[in-house]
Amino acid sequence: MKTIALVAHDQKKDALVAWAKAHEAELGPHRLYATGTTGGRLQKETALDVTPLKSGPLGGDAQLGAMIAEDNLDALIFFIDPLSAMPHDVDVKSLIRLAILYDTLMAVNEATATGIIRSLAD
């Protein structure tokens, strides 16, 4: 069992929820965390057991960063919207920097997320 974080920018929430639905069987056995609205949507729209954190701009990104720094997160799936400015861009960059620094599995799009979740099943 791995610990996986699921995060999506506003314009990517629908895509993340659809991806999670398509991969419920593979995600189900893992401990899942998600930030704010993404977590709420995953709880409502899937059968997955998701632990919700604070919204990204209100500390959720920092909570995930702390999990990474404490070696309590195995994978970060973060559907990023590259075409929209984020008011909490500093938090997003910090989270990504920590994932890189601590060599955490990280996906920023559907193709890579699918590759990660399939690799965890092996």
> 49, 61, 74, 122: which one is catalytic?
61
Is 4:77 a contact under the CB 8 Å cutoff?
yes
Query: 3-state DSSP call for residue 2?
Result: coil
**How far is the C-alpha of 82 from the C-alpha of 104, rounded, in Å?**
21
Q: Is 61 a catalytic residue?
A: yes
Which helix (H) or strand (E) covers residue 81, if one does?
Answer: none
Enzyme catalytic residues: 61
